[in-house]
Structure 1
């Protein structure tokens, strides 16, 4: 418990330091150099804590308007949470299905080749290419699959969700496929095959149960990849998510609130995926 509290304190200080960076950095035009003003950090932290203690979350800039964080944070938080949650769920689902249960099919080999090619392309380039493809689809068919308006409705949810899922899927599928082939060569798998057990039974009762610890262990890495892409996707697609507080201001208050909210989103998504994996086990493996 003491270690957990210590980690939380360190994370909180780190978030405040990152949020205060814009106020601590200035450019000296005469000397053409960057100047650091670390003396402003304690004052910025004190002001942040003071406003929070008064129940004031502060304001942020949205274009030429100055809006209240408390007024917008609820909807923005839910939007980012939905995109993150379903993006990670899609990544884990596709990786498990193709990496374990459909691994012997020919289409999985084609899917694996596609994943290997896509994994060589940087995430930012993949996002840009996906946007260009969406624009081309609109020109060819008249069907709009992308919106750059903050009030785009469902278009600001499902398309960003797919983009968020790309990098985690590439990482998770490669991990599961590698562990699957390692596990398939174990003696207990060969014994199960020799006894005539069904392939699906082996995958459920033996393979998945032995790969599951690796999935859970790398779940934090998967969520971190999704969070990194969330910053890019919400900024490029003009999604009204939690990152607006980070990008729309240089003050410590909205940036710190945005980063802390991202931390809560990551924690909620992590617990939710763990719960889904547990329910999957109870429903399909231990029945």
Structure 2
């Protein structure tokens, strides 16, 4: 319990430090060097705590308007949560299906080869190329698959969700595929095959049970990949998500609130994946 509180305290300090960077870093015009004003940190931290303890989340700048964060944060939070939640869970399901349960089919090998090609391309390039492809589809067929308007509805969320799922899928699929082939060579798998057990039974009751701990240990990295791409996707696709508070202001309050919201989104996504593992084990795995 004490260690958990220490970790929470350190996370809060780090987030506030990141949020305060625009205020404590300046450039000396004469020498061109960076100047750090760490002596202003206590005042910054104090103002943030006073603002929050007073029941206000502060304000942020939206164009020429100054708006209260509390009025807009709920919708923006739900938009970002929806994108990351669907993206990470979909990447997990796709990786398990193609990496374990239908790995023997030729389609899976073609899918794996396609993902290996994508894995060699930086995420930012994939996102830009996908947007250009969407524009080309619209020019050729007249079918609109993306919208760069914040009020675009489903058009403004489904395509960002697909893009946010790419990096986690590439990472998880490679991890699952490697662990699957390593596990398939173990003696207990060979014994199960020799006893005439069905392939699906072996995959569910033996292979998956040994893959699950490896996947759980990588969940934080998988979620961080989706969150990292979310910053890029929401910014260049004009999605009204939680990153709006981070990109459209250099004030401590909105940046800190946005970063804390990102941390909360990561926690919700992590809990959802663990819950899916629990339901899957209860429904299909015999202990």
* TM-score with structure 2 setting the length: 0.98
1:22, distance to aligned residue in structure 2 (A)? 0.3
Structure-2 residue corresponding to 1:187 = 187
SS at the partner of 1:117? helix
Instruction: Give, in whole Å, the separation in 2 of the partners of 1:32 and 1:185.
Output: 60
Deviation at 1:86, TM superposition (A): 0.1
1:199 & 1:111 partners in 2: Cα distance? 21
Q: What's 2:20 paired with?
A: 20
Any idea what SS the aligned residue of 1:61 has? strand
Counterpart CA distance in 1 for 2:120 and 2:234 is 23
Gaps of 5+ in 1: none
Alignment partner, residue 136 of structure 2: 136
SS at match of 2:240: coil
Which whole-Å CA distance do the structure 1 matches of 2:175 and 2:203 have between them?
16
1:82 aligns with 2:82: yes
C-alpha distance in 2 between matches for 1:136 and 1:105: 33
Cα separation, 2, equivalents of 1:140 and 1:81? 33
1:200 and 2:200 correspond: yes
Q: What TM-score do you get using the length of structure 1 for normalisation?
A: 0.98
Q: How far did residue 30 of structure 1 move?
A: 2.2
Alignment of 1:51-66 (within 5 A): 51-66=51-66
How many residue pairs get aligned? The number is: 287
Q: Secondary structure at the match of 2:60?
A: strand
Measured on the aligned residues, the alpha-carbon RMSD in Å equals: 0.9
Aligned to 1:157: 157
**Per-residue Cα deviation, 1:61-104 (whole angstroms, up to 9, x for no partner):** 11111111000000001000000100001110110000000111
In structure 2, stretches of 5+ residues that fail to align are: none
Task: Give the drift of 1:40.
Answer: 1.2
Q: Give the secondary-structure state (helix, strand or coil) at the position aligned to 1:60.
A: strand
State the match for 2:167 in structure 1.
167
Partner of 1:49: 49
Shift of 1:157: 1.3
Q: Render the CA deviation track for 1:199-256: whole Å, top value 9, x for unaligned.
A: 1111011100110001111011100000100100000101000000000110110000
Trace 1:1-287 onto structure 2 (pairs within 5 A).
1-286=1-286
C-alpha separation in 2, matches of 1:207 and 1:114? 24
